[in-house]
Amino acid sequence: MDLKKVFKPKSAAVVGISDREGSFGNFVAMYSLKGNDVDRLYFVHPKREELMGKPCFPSLSALPEVVDCVIICTPSGTVNGLLEEAGQLGIKGAIVFASGFSEERGSEGKELEKELVKIANKYDMALIGPNCLGLINNVDNKIYWGVESNFEFNNKRGVGVVGQSGFIIKYLSEAGFGMTYMASTGNGNVVTIEDVLNFYAEDDDVKVIAVYLEGVKKPEVFISALTKAAHMRKPVIILKSGRSKKGAAATASHTGNLSGSGAIYDAVFEKFGVVVVDDFVDLIAVTRMFTTLKERLPKKATVASLNLSGGETAVCADLSEKYGLVHPEFNENIKQVLYELLPHFATPNNPLDATTGIMYNIEANKRIYRAMLESDDIGIVTTGINIEAYRSNVTDTQVNAVCAAVEGINFTKPLIVLSSFESGRNAENVKMLEDHDIFMLTGGEKGYKQIAYLIKFAQYDFKKKTLSVAYPKITASDSFALSEFDSKEEIKKYGISIPAQAVVKSAEELKVVISKDFKYPIVLKVNSPDILHKTEAGGVKLNIMSSEQAVKAYEEIMASCKAYNPNAKIDGVLVQEMVPAGTEIIIGVNNDRMFGPMILVGLGGIFVEVFKDVALYPAPLNKDEALDMLKKLKAYKLLEGYRGSAPKDIDALADLIVKVGDYAAANKDSLKELDLNPVFVYEKGVKAVDALVVKYK
């Protein structure tokens, strides 16, 4: 399947052209004539001889050449016959606009789409759609778009846009950031959204990728595309719908309950440096930001902010702190400049209330900007200007002052304008700023969040990441749990430290094993694959100090567990060295059928599902990635040492997380879930006290 046949066709045929206003056939015919190679663009209609000044051919077979791409604007019932004809002729690309396929409620549309996919696969045909709006290629000036849109033709600023929602893609086409390519994939069961993403990742004309994503059908292609983009430092901005989790299905482990599908996508995005935005406004604004700034990324996660008033400055400080933006104290050089320029009632703090006198003074601004842009302490410089939908003398003066102030300054840092208010932006003001490499962010709180996106992307280093996932091949649906003993013995093979343990099947065997292999205190637990929540079943006895206590505990465990679940298979009682209490951490695995094992780390013990202080990440992972997971936890302060407590062995804990990842990746085709809870972390070393492995049958 060659995507160039749809994105870069040398010849194309539009089937179903129409002069009926508002129809796909009318818009595609009209827009396609604005492209180049019009002589190799053909219109097909069985009853028309001419449309819009071009001759019409009665069928694909009647065309003077075998075209690269056929654009089908006819109803769903006619599509598959046309595709079959195209395939037999050797046409390798197709765009299908019609709805009435798998998105329909009934079975008829679904059967039509199955046949469509079968035909496309039979002829190795790259097919966009059905139920889509088409695509735009501003590099080669190919416009196969089926709905009225106010986009600029041949405006190529390096953005590749793709999405599964026609509505959102239509409005992205009018967002004003200058698309290189835009594709609406519709149902996307032949050319998927990840195929297009991969095409963009490989295309040198695409510098920024914007995606509206509902789901992934080809995870290997998706990860390959993200990997390529990460290596090239090409921003991938994704608005992922369906990230919320309505409710967790009942699972055997805590990990299964804590890692929903939205969290899994977020974990994958984290690993590959994807910029994840929350809504359509962010998608447009952040895409424009990266497009305008180009490769001008902040080298430090620090901000200097100039504002017009004290109130604006205070809000700037509050919102910056909320989104983790750091305003360092100005260095002596900046302070000296500010002391010389500011009125006596102003103080050279960061963020800065520059006062109205300074904000309109071009020469003063030039000195301030130069000092901040040259400072090694500053990564980003922001300026507060309240540009509104209408032009005014006030905003014109401010915009002119800022633009004039940076003329002649060769700066490599992001220079960003923020508004305190949300409204439309006057296009002339915004263009003037962007012509001076200054970007205007969304107003209000959103602007500060969008700067945080920029900083996070700039700090991402693919060289410190394991840019792979362990794709599983899982066909089973039924699963079974290993007993605690068997679970621990399995993970032990991967270098995971566990307490000394043994299983006994009688009180007499218990006494022999204790006297031979264990020192007091010990712990006794029921060893059963059918009793996973041992405490609730009365299956755990702690701090046993003698043989007599052990025998009594054994008998009580057996009696209690048989009463709790008379049908449970009980292999005996697990004898375990009782290790000292430490900081309790949970390490788990939930094996996603698409992206493979996801490693979960969080505050462990009985509080794991109360506080849900967890981080999720795809396996395999390295030590840097494991440490990053730990640093995301609120409980990380406990590991560092809190209020006089000694620091814990974070290094050993990170090593353990890596080993769990190695185990999960090696067992990706059979493992369903894993819980190590709790893992005790000490001042020196770690120990997995309890383990549960769930496998597919």
Distance separating alpha carbons of residues 592 and 382, to the nearest angstrom = 42
- The b/e string for 552-562 (b: 16+ C-beta within 10 A; e otherwise) is ebbeebbeebe
User: pLDDT tens for residues 542-560?
Assistant: 999 999 999 999 999 999 9
Tell me how many helices (H) and strands (E) the chain has. Answer: 24, 30
Q: Give me the percent of the chain exceeding a pLDDT of 70.
A: 93
Q: Which residue has the tokens 């002596």?
A: 332
- Token pair, residue 696, equals 């597919």
Q: Give me the percent of the chain exceeding a pLDDT of 90.
A: 67
pLDDT, mean of residues 202-227: 94
Q: Is the pLDDT of residue 249 over 90?
A: no
Q: From residue 65, how far is each of 229, 240, 465, 535 by CA, in Å?
A: 37, 42, 49, 76
Q: Is the pLDDT of residue 615 over 50?
A: yes
Per-residue three-class SS string for 33-69: CCCCCHHHEEEECCCCCEECCEEEECCHHHCCCCCCE
User: pLDDT tens for residues 369-395?
Assistant: 999 999 999 999 999 888 776 677 777
Distance separating alpha carbons of residues 573 and 504, to the nearest angstrom = 5
Helices 332-341 and 362-374 cross at an angle (nearest 10°) of 170
Closest CA to 365 of 422, 315, 335, 406: 406
Distance separating alpha carbons of residues 387 and 404, to the nearest angstrom = 17
Structure-model confidence comparison of residues 270 and 141, the more confident one: 270
**pLDDT at 259 (0 to 100):** 45
Give the length of the chain.
697
Mean pLDDT computed over every residue of the chain? 90
CB 657 within 8 A of CB 599: yes
**pLDDT at 631 (0 to 100):** 96
DSSP letters along 459-511, please? Answer: H--GGGS-------------EEEPPHHHHHHHHHTTT-----EEEESSHHHHH
User: pLDDT tens for residues 463-503?
Assistant: 999 999 999 999 898 999 999 999 999 999 999 999 999 99
510 pLDDT band, cuts 50/70/90, is: very high
Distance separating alpha carbons of residues 8 and 138, to the nearest angstrom = 10
pLDDT, mean of residues 336-347: 88
**Domains of the chain in sequence order:** 4-241 (3.40.50.720), 295-459 (3.40.50.261), 500-577 (3.30.1490.20), 583-696 (3.30.470.20)
Q: From residue 511, how far is each of 385, 522, 528 by CA, in Å?
A: 80, 12, 20
Q: Which 3 state secondary structure label does DSSP give 182?
A: strand
Q: Is the pLDDT of residue 25 over 90?
A: no
244 pLDDT band, cuts 50/70/90, is: low
CB 618 within 8 A of CB 271: yes
How many Cβ atoms sit within 10 Å of the Cβ of residue 150? 9
Q: Is 113 left (phi over 0), alpha (psi -120 to 50) or beta?
A: alpha
Distance separating alpha carbons of residues 38 and 33, to the nearest angstrom = 6
**pLDDT at 386 (0 to 100):** 81
630 pLDDT band, cuts 50/70/90, is: very high
Distance separating alpha carbons of residues 80 and 148, to the nearest angstrom = 26
**pLDDT at 355 (0 to 100):** 80
pLDDT, mean of residues 64-83: 96
DSSP state letter for 249: P
**pLDDT at 255 (0 to 100):** 44
Distance separating alpha carbons of residues 291 and 272, to the nearest angstrom = 20
- Alpha carbons within 13 angstroms on the beta-carbon side of residue 211 total 28
Helices 362-374 and 393-406 cross at an angle (nearest 10°) of 50
200 pLDDT band, cuts 50/70/90, is: very high
Which helix (H) or strand (E) segment holds residue 307: the answer is strand 303-307
pLDDT, mean of residues 162-187: 76
DSSP state letter for 546: S
User: pLDDT tens for residues 289-333?
Assistant: 998 888 889 999 999 999 888 899 999 999 999 999 999 999 999
**pLDDT at 250 (0 to 100):** 37
pLDDT, mean of residues 392-418: 85
Q: Which residue has the tokens 């190919």?
A: 142
Structure-model confidence comparison of residues 643 and 68, the more confident one: 68
256 pLDDT band, cuts 50/70/90, is: very low
User: pLDDT tens for residues 114-170?
Assistant: 999 999 999 999 999 999 999 989 889 898 988 877 766 656 678 999 987 666 666
Q: From residue 365, how far is each of 61, 160, 237, 356 by CA, in Å?
A: 67, 36, 33, 11
**pLDDT at 257 (0 to 100):** 44
Q: Which residue has the tokens 């075998």?
A: 66
User: pLDDT tens for residues 659-677?
Assistant: 999 999 999 999 999 999 9
DSSP letters along 185-224, please? Answer: -TT-SSS-HHHHHHHHHH-TT--EEEEEES--S-HHHHHH
The C-alpha R_g of the chain, in whole angstroms, comes to 31
Q: Is the pLDDT of residue 248 over 50?
A: no
In this structure, the strands spanning 50-51 and 41-44 are unpaired
